[in-house]
Amino acid sequence: MRPSDHPTNDRPSRTDTPDRPVDFEFMGQSEWFEFHCELYDVVAELDLAVSTIGAGAIRLHNGRSLGLLQLAQHCHLRDRNDWHELISAHLCTMTTHLHDIVEPFSAFDLRVRLIPDAPDDRDTLRALGARPFAEGIVQVLAIDVPDAVRCVPALEITELGWDLDEAWASALAQTEVLERPDEIHTIDIGGADIIHVFGDRTFTASMIGVVDQLVAETADIGPDGAIVSIPLRHSVLVHPVGGHDCRVAIAGMIPITRQLFKQGPGSVSPHLYWWRNGELQWIPTFFDGTIQGVEYYPSDELAAVIGNIDD
């Protein structure tokens, strides 16, 4: 069934596929069209209360908006025959489990999950009780469930009688202490090295606060910290600040980070950050797709640190 095949009563009344947003350019036009066709089919099959299926988001009758970027990234990497089941499972999870307790869990099961602070997802993030983490990133509470990770709404925590701040503290400690990356290796980008921290688990990116401990056997992150990025929930890129190759590393990390974020799946942030003692400071960047078109705008403090190294 195609978008224009659906009746107008209680169904999205689009007569054509919305234009493909910039963030979805990893999909060709035909793939984008097929993705939206499948969305319409699944929405009809599940009888979801949807008002519109727009460019990059589904809006429900209750006012909530569900972003589609992560779902599209997963579909892009999967066989076309898998799309229906994948989309159906995703929409069922997002529309059914947000306010329902699926199965009992303990405070020791809680972890912190990093998610892009995307405008299309603001309603859902607000319902989950998401908290700010860094520029362009929010954090939510989550637990493992069979074959998936479920975000746990703050309301669910309070209804269990738990102190919300204590639950957050417990989740962060358990994430940083109990989670472990699967691989740590060094990438030579020509003139500088970048450390890649990778893990199959969803919470790899959430360990960024203790990245100095994660890479301790590979590199020493001193008092000047490190340049880091979190393009995917499975990947963290790191370059310790301290050598004369810092500018080269930053210039190389900008396009790498943006490309990984764009391709997904599991995108977190296209930005670079200055990491010091577990805190992240955003580094504004610019990239026009060419080697010459890479720019970054460090804070005065970071610029002074890099300048002192160069001197």
Quote the pLDDT of residue 26. Answer: 87
Quote the pLDDT of residue 7. Answer: 41
Long-range contact set of residues 217-226: C-beta below 8 Å, sequence gap at least 24: 217/184, 218/184, 218/186, 219/186, 219/195, 221/275, 223/276, 224/276, 224/305, 224/309, 225/274, 225/275, 225/276, 225/277, 226/274, 226/275
Tell me the pLDDT tens digit for each residue of 66-124.
778 888 888 888 898 888 888 888 887 776 655 554 567 899 999 999 999 988 788 88
Number of Cβ within a 10 Å radius of residue 296: 18
More confident position, 14 or 49: 49
> What dihedral angle (degrees, nearest 10) is formed by the CA atoms of 258, 260, 264, 269?
-50
**What six digits make up the tokens of 151?**
């975000």
- Asked, for residue 61, whether it belongs to a domain, the answer is yes
Strand duo 111-116 + 137-145: pairing: antiparallel
Quote the pLDDT of residue 12. Answer: 53
More confident position, 282 or 150: 282
Query: Both 21 and 129 in a single domain?
Result: no
User: Is residue 9 over pLDDT 50?
Assistant: no
Q: Which residues contact 108 (CB under 8 A, 6 or more apart)?
A: 170, 174
Average pLDDT over residues 189-216: 96
Query: Both 212 and 272 in a single domain?
Result: yes
Does the predicted TM-score (pTM) go above 0.75?
yes
- Asked, for residue 102, whether it belongs to a domain, the answer is no
Query: Both 117 and 172 in a single domain?
Result: yes
Query: Both 236 and 284 in a single domain?
Result: yes
Could you give the number of structural domains in the chain?
3
Tell me the pLDDT tens digit for each residue of 11-24.
554 455 678 887 88
Average pLDDT over residues 200-223: 95
More confident position, 233 or 90: 233
Residue holding tokens 């054509």? Answer: 16
Average pLDDT over residues 196-210: 96
Q: How confident is the model at residue 243 (pLDDT cuts 50, 70, 90)?
A: confident
Quote the pLDDT of residue 5. Answer: 43
What is the rounded distance in angstroms from the CA atom of residue 76 to the CA atom of residue 31? 8
What is the rounded distance in angstroms from the CA atom of residue 173 to the CA atom of residue 287? 36
Q: How confident is the model at residue 308 (pLDDT cuts 50, 70, 90)?
A: confident
Give the domain range for residue 25. 3-96
Q: Which residues contact 38 (CB under 8 A, 6 or more apart)?
A: 75, 83, 84, 87
Report whether 172 contacts 112 (CB < 8 A).
yes
What is the rounded distance in angstroms from the CA atom of residue 218 to the CA atom of residue 225? 15
Query: Both 52 and 75 in a single domain?
Result: yes
User: Is residue 2 over pLDDT 50?
Assistant: no
| Nearest by Cα to 267 from 26, 73, 56 | 73
- Asked, for residue 101, whether it belongs to a domain, the answer is no
31 three-state secondary structure? helix
